[in-house]
Amino acid sequence: MKTRDIVLIALFAAIIVVLGLLPPITLGFIPVPITAQSLGVMLAGCILGARRGAAAVLLVLLLVAIGLPVLSGGRGGLAVFAGPTAGYLVGWVFGAFVCGLIAERLVREEQPELSQLLSFLAAAVIGGIGVVYLFGMPWLAYMSGKAFFETAAASLVFLPGDLIKAFVAMLAGRAVLAGYPLLPQRA
C-alpha cells in the first residue's frame, strides 16, 4: 500500500465521520436512525474502489470500536456492535467493497458520460443499498424479535433517502473521475 492510498483511506474515513455530525433522524417504529453516513460508504466505494473504500469504512469502524463517538448521534464503543444497527455497520464494509468492485469493473474514462453515470448509480444502488440492507435487515429482525418480512417492510422507509444518496454518490463519482480519477483501472 502506497502513501497515497493511506492518505485517501484516511480522507474518506474522515468524510464518513463528518457526515456523522449531521443529526440522525429517528423513527419511532424502527430502532435504526436515518443518517448521512451511508452516503460516505457509497462515496468511498465509487471513488476509491473496492479495497481502499472498504479500508476507509474499516478505519471508521475501528474508531467506533475503540470508543470514539464518530457515528451519527455521537455513538461509539463496542456496545454499538451488539445493538440493532450492528448489521448495517458490518454491511458498510461489504457495501463499500461491492460498490467499488462494480465501479472498477463498469466505469472507464473513455466511456460516454451517461454510461459512466449509470455505472456509478448501479454501483451505489447495488453495493451501497442492496448489500448494506442484506446485512442490516436480518440482524435488525433478530435483535428486534420481529419477523424478517415485517422488518423488511418497515425498512422500506429508508429507501427514498438512500436512493437520493446513491444519486449524489453517482454525481460525485463522475465528477471525481472527470477531474482526478482515483479508481484503480482493471486490465
- Helix ranges (H only) for the chain are 3-19, 37-43, 50-65, 86-106, 113-123, 132-144, 148-155, 159-179
Report the distance separating Cα 101 and Cα 118, nearest Å. 15
Over residues 39-65, mean pLDDT: 97
**53 within 8 A of 44, measured Cβ to Cβ:** yes
Read off the C-alpha cell for 17.
465521520
Residue 29 has pLDDT above 90, yes or no: no
**102 within 8 A of 122, measured Cβ to Cβ:** yes
Residue 186 has pLDDT above 60, yes or no: no
> Higher model confidence: residue 179 or residue 70?
70
Q: What is the pLDDT of residue 85?
A: 92
The sign of the CA dihedral 166, 23, 131, 63 is: positive
Report the distance separating Cα 165 and Cα 81, nearest Å. 24
Q: For the chain, state the CA radius of gyration.
A: 16
Q: What is the pLDDT of residue 187?
A: 38
Tens digit of pLDDT for each residue in 30-51? 778 889 999 999 999 999 999 9
Tens digit of pLDDT for each residue in 79-120? 999 999 999 999 999 999 999 999 999 999 899 999 999 999
The domain defined by 3-179 folds into Arp2/3 complex 21 kDa subunit ARPC3 (1.10.1760)
Largest CA distance in the chain: 50
Phi, psi of 30 (to 5 degrees): -145, 135
Q: What is the pLDDT of residue 181?
A: 79
Mean pLDDT over the full length of the chain:
93
> Higher model confidence: residue 1 or residue 94?
94
Residue 52 has pLDDT above 60, yes or no: yes
